[in-house]
Structure 1
């Protein structure tokens, strides 16, 4: 059975209907990815650099404050399509420093330090501060992670959803809607626990998996999930053994090595970008069926393939929908 990720609304308007009208006590001081930041009041506007940051703000019902977005990996979550269509997109990929500053935002909300950080390709945090614009980076990109080692960085601790929840909570505090953040985190935690319980109930002690993101070329070693990032968290949470033992977040591993490990389940990324030939999901599927090595894996022979949006493999609120989809797939595959 080929199993596809079906995204479900992460937050609905009714979620906040009964929320207590708690307020943030300003000045609010936070330690954010090694930088101390203080807010004397809620920002009136923000530009986002990174889709994960954009979708957190939308989910917190802060779309009116988002005046520009950038760095898109795939389509916005379906429940935010109308809202997103009304927000200016500064760039599909990396925005220029000048285009962000020209919007005069009260805050720049960032997904990755390699965009805005010590060696930021858009700018450093100091450059934004020099023009009076504070920045906030999602903690999922720096908690338990060393970003001095390259664009992907190196995980020094296993990624957990706690860092995503921290980002939701802190952004809600910054924008003076702390109750929304609390309710959103509670809802996500409830769904996370249910997905984990569902997988645990299957009693699959010998099940294993591999996550294939892409490949620079179809006939060379693929980029697969190592032991540190969001896919590793999903596998660990659902009791799946990751057949890729590298501590790198997205190492390249030969199909011969993966085939020898023979994962029970193969998870493959679907994405809008076309940087590499293997970004195309149809070409991935065609390769798996035709390649003399990959086609011999049990996961391929028995069609135990799960398709996920590539962005669901990045640290983000989408990880919960991905976790649910993987748990549902395990229940349907009849691995026992």
Structure 2
């Protein structure tokens, strides 16, 4: 079943006659790097769930040779496509594992995977083998990924970088019509959520977003003041109590407790790198720790659980925005 809104279907109809096929050879400017594609890529290997699910939404599973770096189970509507593509690694794959698939295109959601200090390999390493390695603009525009564990925002996250990421990947894969329809659908849904948020009229409501922790006794990784979750909160009229420019800074619970946010948002994930990846462990900690258990949001049960992937810049970002809006409507009654 195709999960597109009427707006997206109309957009697809309007562009079907006008969208020209991609002209190869193609050169794309990606985060200041020129990437060349002599032809439509085959054997695409994606690093990161956001990039993977965009490719699935563009109908590109048959041209994919591998996926990696997953936070949640694949969206139900992509299960059939996902079953046809090998999963190289649940987390970051090795450079050798990616190259073994003879990729014609390696897109990633995180620059630190293939950037100057690439966890998988650098752009130069991939270029030596003639492989264009692509970073979604969501993670390189307005951001310095060499400062802070997960990078530091130089400007607030801009949703336009997500539309640009989809448009570029659609162009590279010669799937512009599907890309246009996908962006139209997501934009329509975002606008609808904005209307719901305006109706809630949240006044001086605040929030904090807990992604995970290396250990439950250590400071948690919280959403910074200019990243994707902060954008989500702002769209709903919520103030993020964490204001640092780092993407996912470690912030002490004493600091969070002093700010006493109206709502706590915690990530649910299938990944298990850390104990706190399990949202049930997060809940047990919040309710038993002498500091966190005294927070108003914990005492009054104002805790919202969102898929971790909905906190990243991908198609699930709008799913997360809708889910957060629904939760806030319930809490504000």
1:247 paired to 2:281 = no
1:7-22 equivalent positions in 2, closer than 5 A:
11=4, 15=9, 18=13, 20=16, 22=19
Larger relative contact order (CA 8 Å, sep ≥ 6) = 1
Q: Distance in 2 between matches of 1:180 and 1:79?
A: 15
Other structure's SS at 1:287 match: helix
1:175-324 equivalent positions in 2, closer than 5 A:
175-324=173-322
Q: Normalising to structure 1: TM-score of the pair?
A: 0.91
**C-alpha contact (below 8 Å) 1:114/1:151 kept by paired residues:** no
Picking from 129, 132, 138, the partner of 2:130 is 132
Q: Distance in 1 between matches of 2:215 and 2:97?
A: 33
Q: Distance in 2 between matches of 1:299 and 1:329?
A: 13
Q: Distance in 2 between matches of 1:192 and 1:198?
A: 10
Could you tell me which residue of structure 2 aligns to residue 3 of structure 1?
A: none
Other structure's SS at 1:284 match: helix
Q: Deviations over 1:180-228 (max 9, x none)?
A: 1111101101101111110111111211111011122223322111112
1:48 paired to 2:40 = no
Q: Runs in 1 of length 4+ with deviation above 4 angstroms?
A: 8-12, 14-17
Q: Distance in 2 between matches of 1:247 and 1:134?
A: 30
Report how far residue 55 of structure 1 moved.
Answer: 0.6
Report how far residue 38 of structure 1 moved.
Answer: 2.8
Other structure's SS at 2:146 match: helix
Q: Distance in 2 between matches of 1:275 and 1:44?
A: 31
Q: Deviations over 1:70-114 (max 9, x none)?
A: 111221112112221221111122222222112112211122221
C-alpha RMSD of the superposition: 2.1
Q: Distance in 2 between matches of 1:226 and 1:17?
A: 36
Structure 1: where are the runs of 5+ without partners?
1-7
Picking from 105, 108, 113, the partner of 1:107 is 105
**Shift in alpha-carbon separation, 1:9–1:307, aligned structure 2, 3 A:** farther
Q: Deviations over 1:259-315 (max 9, x none)?
A: 221111110011122222222111111122222221222212221111011122122
**C-alpha contact (below 8 Å) 2:12/2:177 kept by paired residues:** no
**C-alpha contact (below 8 Å) 1:29/1:39 kept by paired residues:** yes
Q: Distance in 1 between matches of 2:3 and 2:65?
A: 22
Q: Distance in 2 between matches of 1:289 and 1:10?
A: 38
Report how far residue 321 of structure 1 moved.
Answer: 0.5
Q: Distance in 2 between matches of 1:329 and 1:121?
A: 36
Report how far residue 9 of structure 1 moved.
Answer: 7.8
Please identify, of 15-24 and 193-202, the stretch whose mean Cα deviation from structure 2 is larger: 15-24
Could you tell me which residue of structure 2 aligns to residue 329 of structure 1?
A: 327
Q: Normalising to structure 2: TM-score of the pair?
A: 0.92
Equivalenced residues, count: 328
1:37 paired to 2:38 = no
**C-alpha contact (below 8 Å) 1:29/1:36 kept by paired residues:** yes
Other structure's SS at 1:269 match: strand
Q: Distance in 2 between matches of 1:146 and 1:315?
A: 16
Report how far residue 158 of structure 1 moved.
Answer: 0.5
Could you tell me which residue of structure 2 aligns to residue 149 of structure 1?
A: 147
Q: Distance in 1 between matches of 2:321 and 2:23?
A: 35
Please identify, of 258-267 and 211-220, the stretch whose mean Cα deviation from structure 2 is larger: 211-220
